[in-house]
Structures are given as C-alpha cells and as structure tokens.
Chains A and B, each alone.
Chain A
Amino acid sequence: QVQLVESGGGVVQPERSLRLSCIASGFRFSNDAMHWVRQPSGKGLEWVAVIWYDGSVTHYAESVKGRFTISRDNSKNTVYLQMNSLRAGDTGLYYCVRDPSGSGWAFESWGQGTLVTVSS
C-alpha cells in the first residue's frame, strides 16, 4: 500500500536551515506530483509547495517563497523540502502529500508528518 515517510524535522534556531525528506513507496512515484503541507499545533492546514511529477515545475506559498525549495529524486522515490532563513511562524507539523495525476489537486495520500520547531 501507499506509504509516505517524512524525516528531518527537529528544533532549529531562527534564521537557520533544515532539510526535510519524504520517502515514498507503494505507487509509481515518478508519475505523481508531490506537495508539502504544514499545520501549526492546534491550527489549520497550510499548503507549502508542489513539485510536478518530473520536477519541471514548482510552486510555493507566498509565505515561504524565496526561502524554501522543493525538489525530488525519482530514482530514490524521495521528495525534499529545503528550508532556509527559518522563522518562528514556520513551526509546525510538515506533511508530505501525494497528488496523483488527474486527481484535480486531490491529496490522496498523506504521511504522518515531521515536526519542525523554530525557537531560540
């Protein structure tokens, strides 16, 4: 079955960097777009970034544009989120999400999330 396993979260000081990884299995990874979605504790969902199935196109939320970079390695079934210049407002649980081709931007599968805490 589909599995998405995130890693790389932790406690980091403001203005520092962190790289999240998500290893996918159970589906043809190279066929699907992948997203990162985050959720501050006790709050709602916020979309962060998307990368096309072949890595040719990326889009970002305004709140992270210029600081975060999404990338993927289809040979390793892995998607990454490089987070630079981190702020307290970036604190939250980061989910890796699968968006199958033709789904109408439906997030069909979610990982369990990796927690990022930005604090001095």
Chain B
Amino acid sequence: QSVLTQPPSASGTPGQRVTISCSGSSSNIGNRFVNWYQQFPGTAPRLLISKNDQRPSGVPDRFSGSKSGTSASLAISGLRSEDEADYYCAAWDESLSGVLFGGGTKVTVL
C-alpha cells in the first residue's frame, strides 16, 4: 500500500553520484518532513537523513537529502561499494494519520 513511490533499483560505478527519488502527495511529503533509512541485508534499518536534509551524527556527508513540493530525493555522491543497501523514504501522512514508507530502492555498485 506504498503511496510513496520509489524506483525499485538504482546503480552506479564507484565514485559516481546516484540519486533516488521519492514521490508522494500533499497529504504527506508536501506538508511533512521526509526521512530516509538505509538497510543492509539481515540488519535493522538506520536513520540516514531526517527532516528532509539533516544528517544524524555519524552519517557521511556523501549522503544528502532534498525536498521540493511533493517529491524528495536522496543523493549519494562518491559512491562506494559499502553503500550497496536498500534505501527507504518515509513521511507522516495526514489523511491516514500514520507513517508511510516508500517501497524501497536497492542500490547496486557496479
């Protein structure tokens, strides 16, 4: 029931810049903060970006977030092999009174 739409996959070579989009609506992204999570296989997700563009302590500055209207993006610059993971966007939805996650994007480093 994801109403936050992400591409299922993205890829790049080491050193490249990869961007992941997250599309929503006025009831979620349009009027709420977007948060991003990174998840490696067999581990719990970790917060990567909060409040659209804030990096928690310990997150490399290669990761950046942005939001415009009802869409948001996560960018990974200087891609590294250790960035291979699943990435999820999320936002509160006012109509549903709940948190919505995007379907997730698997990033592959070629």
State the A residues within 8 Å of B (CB): 35, 37, 44-47, 50, 59-63, 95, 103-108, 110-113
Q: A62-B1, A103-B50, A105-B91 are in contact. Are A110 and B45 (CB under 8 A)?
A: yes
Give the interface segment out of B9-17, B18-26, B69-77, B98-106: B98-106
Considering only CB atoms, which chain B residue lies closest to A60 in the complex? B98
In the assembled complex, 23 residue pairs joining A and B whose CB atoms fall closer than 8 Å, in A order, are A37-B101, A44-B88, A44-B102, A44-B104, A45-B37, A45-B39, A45-B104, A46-B1, A47-B90, A59-B97, A62-B1, A62-B98, A103-B50, A104-B33, A104-B51, A105-B33, A106-B33, A106-B35, A106-B50, A107-B35, A107-B90, A110-B46, A112-B44
Are B99 and A111 in contact, CB atoms less than 8 angstroms apart? Answer: no
Complex: how many Å from CA A108 to CA B46?
Answer: 7
Q: A106-B35, A108-B47 are in contact. Are A47 and B100 (CB under 8 A)?
A: yes
Are B51 and A106 in contact, CB atoms less than 8 angstroms apart? Answer: yes
Chain B: minimal CB distance from A116 (Å): 16
Chain B residues within 8 Å of chain A by Cβ, number: 28
B32 at the interface (CB under 8 A from A): yes
Complex: how many Å from CA A37 to CA B101?
Answer: 10
Q: A35-B99, A104-B51, A106-B33 are in contact. Are A63 and B46 (CB under 8 A)?
A: no
B37 contacts across to A, CB distance below 8 A: 45, 107
A50 contacts across to B, CB distance below 8 A: 98-99
Considering only CB atoms, which chain B residue lies closest to A43 in the complex? B104
Mask, B21-59, CB within 8 Å of A = 1, is 000000000001101010100001111001100001000
Are A108 and B45 in contact, CB atoms less than 8 angstroms apart? Answer: no
Complex: how many Å from CA A112 to CA B43?
Answer: 7
